[in-house]
Structure 1
Amino acid sequence: MASGLGIGVNWIFLFEAYKYTTVSIATLSYYCAPIFVTVMAPIVLKEKISLVKFLCVCTAMLGMLCIVGTNKGTSGEGYNHLLGIAYGLSAAVFYASVILMNKFIKGLKGVETTVTQLILASLLLFPYVMITSGFDFSNMTKTSWIYMIFLGVFNTGFAYALYFTAIKKLNAQTIAVLSYIDPITAVIISAVFFGEKMTMFQIIGGILILVSTFISENIKK
């Protein structure tokens, strides 16, 4: 139940992040989640933080500073990057908690876990949407409905079913390596389809975050 509600709160913060900053910056902020897992693991899973993992956390934070400190040329585009990054990091915290909580879920198949958590996430999102904006489908076009159904069925339901099934069959290091395809793809897509540009410092910041996260998840003592 807690992990399902965590997914709902995670979505709220993530989509708020997309409203206030670019897709690439929001995604890179969101992918600090593995770093938060590293920080929270000693408390939740009783694991020790090595010097290497501590340095990875510091490097990721340096990457965030590179991204935050280089937005002067984009202030006129309707963005509030600092707020967007704050939402992205908040989403990362809740996503990290979902990852940790799923380590304790036993006796359920991937599909069962997915259905249960998505239903609970929906129950949380329904009143939130009603309070903040309400449901108004009058302006939805046929194309929008097609995209909405595709996102709900394949990008969310099917993707989560694959993810939770993979957790049970693959080791954590393999899952960590494959997960980095997501932010790289998002950055490329945002540049190709939305024309979003990143400065050299933002690119360096993104590289620092991804590299530090990768090392933190895969380094062996």
Structure 2
Amino acid sequence: MRKSWLPAYLALGTVWGCSFIFIELGLEFLTPFGVTFIRCALGAITLIIISRIRKINLPTDRKVWQKLWVVALLLNVIPGVLFAFAQQYVTSVFASIINAATPLMTLVFILVIFREEKLKREQIFGLLIGALGVMTVVGVWKELGDNQLVGVIALLIAVSCYGASYPYSTRNVIPLKLKPEALAAGQLIMAAITLLPLFLINGISNNSYPRQSVIAMLCLGIFGSGFAYIWNFSITAAAGSAIASSVTYLTPVVAVIVGRLYLGEVIVWHEIFGAIIVILGALLSQGRLNRLVKTK
């Protein structure tokens, strides 16, 4: 019997929901290249240590590393730099809105390119309902005017990479039957190696290192890029790429709540109402509503 993926799903949504504020704080002393490299390097170190403790060997086949490099480009390098770059021009809340479009982009790639993974009707409905909920949570009708077009374009490209990464992993990486720790460590090692030259050229924006910014980068790297990718691979293997990508419906909910608490702002009605819609959409896409109805 498969181990339940729901705890990892909730943990991943929470950690990635906090990542937008961590990125904002990291940009106080790092460039987008610096933020992305540091989070990947810290994540790689974390996963290497975990793998050693659990006596899990990293891959040795060159072809496996090539596939992990592709995943690193799609899931870490390109979107990581673009998200950090975009958050210089858009709010962290808006970034979380665009990030929540990942399941829809995943759906597009599954339907157009990766056709072997069949989607159920309730999954499609759940994803669409979740997208509506996300827009309601953040009050998208009010937020768009506060952001610059260059940031919006960067976010859309980044989310497209995310959308392609899930079905690519399902087709080319998950079948390798490697431990999630080994896959995630290999992915982040390749990402850090790719980003290192860019970091050395232009990684630090100033020589001031605020304590809260340093702590934010430690959390972003260790949890947001370390433990998070173990959970991500585990969810994809257990539940499929469509459900795994729907975790991004939880991230804007977390981002809004944490942002409000951090900034001392009050949560308004549409955020609460939208959160309920998001949860319903996630439950529907996971088939949990049908199970609840059958048990009654």
TM-score by length of 1: 0.71
Among candidates 133, 139, 145, match of residue 214 of structure 2: 145
Q: Deviations over 1:33-67 (max 9, x none)?
A: 11011111123322578888499669959x87x96
Alignment partner, residue 159 of structure 2? 92
- Residue 95 of structure 1 deviates from its aligned partner by 0.8
Q: Residues 13-24 of structure 1: matches in 2 within 5 Å?
A: 13-24=82-93
Is residue 194 of structure 1 aligned with residue 263 of structure 2? yes
- The count of aligned residue pairs is 212
CA contact (8 A) 1:13 1:91 kept: yes
Alignment partner, residue 2 of structure 1? 70
SS at match of 2:209: coil
Among candidates 197, 200, 204, match of residue 127 of structure 1: 197
Q: Residues 174-193 of structure 1: matches in 2 within 5 Å?
A: 175=244, 179-193=248-262
Q: Aligned AA for 1:135?
A: I
Alignment partner, residue 118 of structure 1? 188
CA contact (8 A) 1:35 1:216 kept: no
Give, in whole Å, the separation in 2 of the partners of 1:150 and 1:92: 22
SS at match of 1:92: helix
Give, in whole Å, the separation in 2 of the partners of 1:9 and 1:178: 20
Gaps of at least 5 residues in structure 2 are 1-68, 289-296
1:49–1:178 Cα change, 3 Å: closer
- Residue 151 of structure 1 deviates from its aligned partner by 2.3
Percent identical: 24
Report the RMSD for the aligned CA atoms in angstroms. 4.0
- Residue 165 of structure 1 deviates from its aligned partner by 2.8
CA contact (8 A) 1:176 1:218 kept: no
- Residue 88 of structure 1 deviates from its aligned partner by 2.0
Alignment partner, residue 112 of structure 2? 43
Is residue 159 of structure 1 aligned with residue 228 of structure 2? yes
SS at match of 1:167: helix
1:83–1:194 Cα change, 3 Å: farther
1:20–1:100 Cα change, 3 Å: same
Deviates more, 1:142-151 or 1:33-42: 142-151
TM-score by length of 2: 0.56
Give, in whole Å, the separation in 1 of the partners of 2:234 and 2:82: 25
Give, in whole Å, the separation in 1 of the partners of 2:260 and 2:250: 16
Gaps of at least 5 residues in structure 1 are none
Give, in whole Å, the separation in 1 of the partners of 2:227 and 2:130: 34
Q: Deviations over 1:118-168 (max 9, x none)?
A: 12222233333445x333563114443333223211222112122223333
